A and B are shown apart, each in its own frame.
Chain A
Amino acid sequence: MRTVIVVGASLAGLYAARELRAQGFDGRLVVIGAEPHAPYDRPPLSKGFLTGSGSGTADESHIALADAEETAELAAEWLLGARARSLDVRGRTVVLDDGRTVAGDGLVIATGASARRLPGPPLAGVHTLRTLDDARALRAELTCGPRRVVVIGGGFIGAETASSCVALGHDVTVVEAAPLPLVAQLGPEMASVCAGLHARGGVRLLTGVGVAGLRGAEGAEGAGASDPGAAGARTSEAVRAGRSVTAVELTDGRLLPADVVVVGIGATPNTAWLAGSPLAVDDGVLCDDGCVTALPQVVAVGDVARVGGVRAEHWTSATEQPRAAVRNLLAGHTVDTAHALPYFWSDQYGSRIQFAGRRSDGDSVRIVEGSPDGLGGDPSAGVRGEGFLAVYERAGRTTAVLAVDRARPFMKVRRGLAAERAAELAGV
């Protein structure tokens, strides 16, 4: 293999580039990224980056994923601010938006996912939170006086954003269409425990009600028209449109006045550029257990990849999959699988939630340490609560583990689950 192209210059793309070099690939390495930025870390964007606290601070150097020395060692050609538009039929040439083409004999697809948006014309004051540019724009609006913030969607990013907004002193409401947020991830019992964090944090949580639409007005009051800091945060289309959000209209007719709206309704995998290629796409790029697509010279990793039927949107998957993917790419067929135990964490209202394993509906949940009543320290004082550890079980076996502020025992159970999983895969 002489040239490998990595499309997507973020977490999974960078880890793939690292693996290529670590596994001895010494040919030409081209990394194509639509964003103008060098690879950066997204999790801090909804946490410390917004509030300017902790180690995910507002200082952008803290979220860089690689330093200058490492970047030089990778000896890759970085085409940043360049979007791949299509992939030729044999999967050997990537065509960029500006018409340039890049040919290679191996391809790593790492184009991640994009924040889902609400339909309708753009309005100033309405944000999504996926990219550094999104986070900069939102932060600029949050740092110019108290605002009425409505967060649409009570998933992890919505909850973290709400938590960061309330820490900055804003008035915050979260709207969740389902009867409980995070049920799919945590199951009803634990989802209701985590939903309780919002109230403790001083955020209103409205559940079981959808959003009918957004209301806007010309140069709306509270939208920062007189505020140069906030004006700079507007998207250019919205500024041109001249309309700012004023309220969120709910499906039950209620109207929530809002100066800032954050839309956190999930993400869709970035696969549009693969239309017309021989690769199968269905909620992500379909690949086998080893991240290999229908073409042996093409692998997919991270949020965009549906590996053995599962598409994860977790930081740890994006960093672990590239090892097997690159091994298989260099071998020319699948020799290794990438089925690590799913793991994610989330920081909200001063609590740290960690989850690992595969829970399915009907698993029972047992609190093995601490108590949900011991939740919630004092976020403003940086004091964590006592927390708890819960295990999910099915037919006498542990399927997953959840911890709130119980990192140490969590790690023990997680390692046990990972070892079982590895043994299972090895056919023991």
Chain B
Amino acid sequence: MIPVCRLEDLPAGDSVRLDITPPVAVFNADGELYAIDDTCSHQDASLSEGWLEGCLIECPLHAASFDLRTGKPACLPARRPVRTHQVYVEDGVIHVLVASDAGATGDGGTGAAEKGSAA
């Protein structure tokens, strides 16, 4: 488990990027916490810098949006999902348990995993 920040430091509507490899983005979507891979599965933009609306995060580069609950793209140009990770709050501190799906990141260094992708 990786500590992220104190709960009060991530107010609703805000996001934070964890500089690990591959980077992870943590969101506070109207009080619910979510974590996904930070790098868009389309090209290389940071989703933590995107536009959060409800449970959807819109990529700041070409406007693909992803469902924070599933990591699935809701529209083009992204076609592959991003990984989702579990989030816990312990003693007021947000933690992320990074999903370990081995072999998911060996595709050209995007860091965007392809869980559940047939392509």
**Which residues from chain A contact B43 at a C-beta distance below 8 Å?**
44, 54-56
A100 CA to B55 CA in the complex, in Å? 50
In angstroms, Cα B63 to Cα A415, docked, is: 11
A411/B51 in contact, CB under 8 A? yes
**Chain B interface extent, by class:** 20 to 34
Contact A407 B45 (CB under 8 A): yes
CB of A252 within 8 Å of the partner chain: no
Binds A, one of B81-89, B94-102, B104-112: B104-112
Contact B61–A407 (Cβ < 8 Å): yes
Is B44 positioned at the interface, with any CB of A under 8 Å from its CB? Answer: yes
Q: Is the CB of A408 within 8 A of B108?
A: no
Which residues of B sit under 8 angstroms from A53, Cβ to Cβ? 109
B67 at the interface (CB under 8 A from A): no
Please provide the chain A residues from 369 to 428 with a CB less than 8 Å away from any CB of chain B in the complex.
407-408, 410-412, 415
CB distance from A168 to the nearest CB of B (A): 17
- Chain A: which residue is nearest B119 at the CB level? A67
A319 touching B77, Cβ below 8 Å: yes
Is A90 in contact with chain B by the CB < 8 A criterion?
A: no
Contact B50 A411 (CB under 8 A): yes
**A55 to B109 Cα, complex, angstroms:** 7
Enumerate B14-72 residues with CB–CB distance to A below 8 Å: 39, 42-46, 49-51, 58, 60-63
Q: Are B60 and A411 in contact (CB under 8 A)?
A: yes
Select which of B46, B58, B76, B108 is within 8 A of A55 by beta carbon. Answer: B108
Given A54-B43, A55-B43, A415-B51, also A410-B60 (CB < 8 A)? yes
Is A55 within 8 A of B60, CB to CB?
Answer: no
Q: Which residue of A lies closest to B46 (CB)?
A: A407
Q: What's the Cα separation between A68 and B79 when bound, in Å?
A: 12
The 9 closest A-B pairs by CB, nearest first: A55-B110, A407-B60, A407-B49, A408-B49, A57-B108, A55-B44, A54-B44, A411-B60, A55-B43
**Could you pull out 23 A-B pairs where Cβ atoms are within 8 angstroms?**
A48-B44, A53-B109, A54-B109, A55-B108, A55-B109, A56-B43, A57-B108, A59-B108, A62-B108, A67-B119, A69-B118, A69-B119, A316-B62, A319-B62, A319-B76, A354-B60, A407-B45, A407-B46, A408-B50, A410-B60, A411-B50, A411-B51, A411-B60
Name B's A-contacting residues (CB within 8 A).
39, 42-46, 49-51, 58, 60-63, 76-77, 79, 108-110, 112, 118-119
